[in-house]
Copies of this chain bind each other. A is one copy, B any other.
Amino acid sequence: MDALRATYRLRVDDPVAARERAEGLGLEQTVELPRSTLRDPFVLAQIVPEVESVEPDPEGGFRTTLAFPLATTALDPAQLLNLLFGNSSLQEDVVLHDVFLPRALREALGGPRFGIAGLRAAAGAPSGPLTCTALKPMGLAPDALAELAGTFARAGIDLIKDDHGLADHPFCRFEPRVRACQAAVEKAALETGRRALYVPNLTGTPQTVARQWRFAADCGVGAVMVAPMLIGLPTLTELLRDAPPLPVLAHPAWAGALRIAAPALLGRLFRAYGADAVIFPHAGGRFAYSAAVCGELASVLREPSPPLRPAMPVPAGGMSVERASEVVDFYGPDAMLLIGGSLYDAGDALLERTRSFVEAVSQAGSAP
């Protein structure tokens, strides 16, 4: 069966290090264990990805292609993202460069329901480049946006989309906006004989987006826009199963989200959105966070911020039993130490090694 292939760029200097980094990447993205601890033959044969190539990258460093056995994806849209760039997205020396989805995965995901041909049909534009513009700025009332929509429609634009910052604002509610803008393009169509597609921006939680989608379809809009990285890529895929058939315009907002400081994303935002405990790589492990960043992240998770309850910091990522007391000293008692690979290292002595870990934490936590 066809594998899932992904190409990564590695910031390493020599071929030996590159090969080793590529192997490590494959382990990180699947078993999260050193190869030496893997004993199950099925795991070795069917789970760990094959390093298909490691070669110098014309732009510097090395490039590697990994082949993940298809079964590791579970044909699941969220697990696919995780396999491609889950933990490794937190490591600074690697870039996900390209993705090759085998046919079975493409079938599972489904892809565009309209595609270029369907979009052209919806827009009544069988050939030639299409034109599109945006209704803006945020802050205008539905009538003012509708007037703009009418102007653009009369000028012959094919698709007139909301700015992606237009949400269900108190000063411009989604429903009156969509109704007014759609009416404006329909009115213009009576004058010009050619109908522009009005494309409302849908945003919010999955149920909100689904509700907006149905409303927009009932109003007769020609397509919808979402920002998949805001609503979640798996959410988009699920919406397409049940939502009324309309072409989807995808907006790239938030697609550069790495460049958010860890305390802001994993600390403030994860907590505000409802996490009771947040796992993050502790300094000195196999990820790149500094001690200062870890300390700030923990403090952001725990500091008073009513009505938000404090959330538990969960330092993880390549910690060892030996470091337990240092980590407890660093975070204090309101923390949960997450340790994995270093326990599995113990092989048959797993119970004893784990007991040592529990005892080390307990002793460190009760030290004066």
Contact = CB atoms under 8 A, between A and B. Distances in A.
Interface stretch (A17-25, A178-186, A213-221, A327-335): A327-335
Contacts of A281: 252
A277 interface: yes
A94 interface: yes
Contact of A82 (B77, B205, B228, B230): B230
A108 to B, nearest CB: 9
Binding site secondary structure of chain A: mixed
A124 to B, nearest CB: 14
Contacts of A247: 276-277
Interface string A79-111: 101110111111100111111110101110111
A251 B279 contact: yes
Given A111-B271, A205-B77, A137 B264 contact: no
A336 B132 contact: yes
A106 B273 contact: no
Contacts of A302: 116
Interface in A47-98: 47, 71-74, 76-79, 81-83, 85-91, 94-98
A204 to B, nearest CB: 5
A140 B40 contact: yes
Measured as residues with beta carbon below 8 angstroms from the partner, the interface class of chain A is: 35 or more
A303 to B, nearest CB: 12
Contacts of A237: 205, 273-274
Nearest to A199: B277
Interface in A218-257: 223, 227-238, 240, 247-257
A91 B169 CA distance: 26
A131 B361 contact: yes
Contact of A112 (B119, B133, B276, B328): B276
Nearest to A168: B74
A253 to B, nearest CB: 4
A333 to B, nearest CB: 5
Q: Which 8 A-B residue pairings sit nearest by Cβ, starting from the closest? A: A232-B232, A115-B309, A258-B258, A89-B256, A31-B137, A111-B308, A250-B275, A155-B354
10 contacts: A32-B138, A42-B139, A78-B205, A81-B269, A86-B227, A110-B308, A111-B274, A129-B335, A129-B336, A256-B258
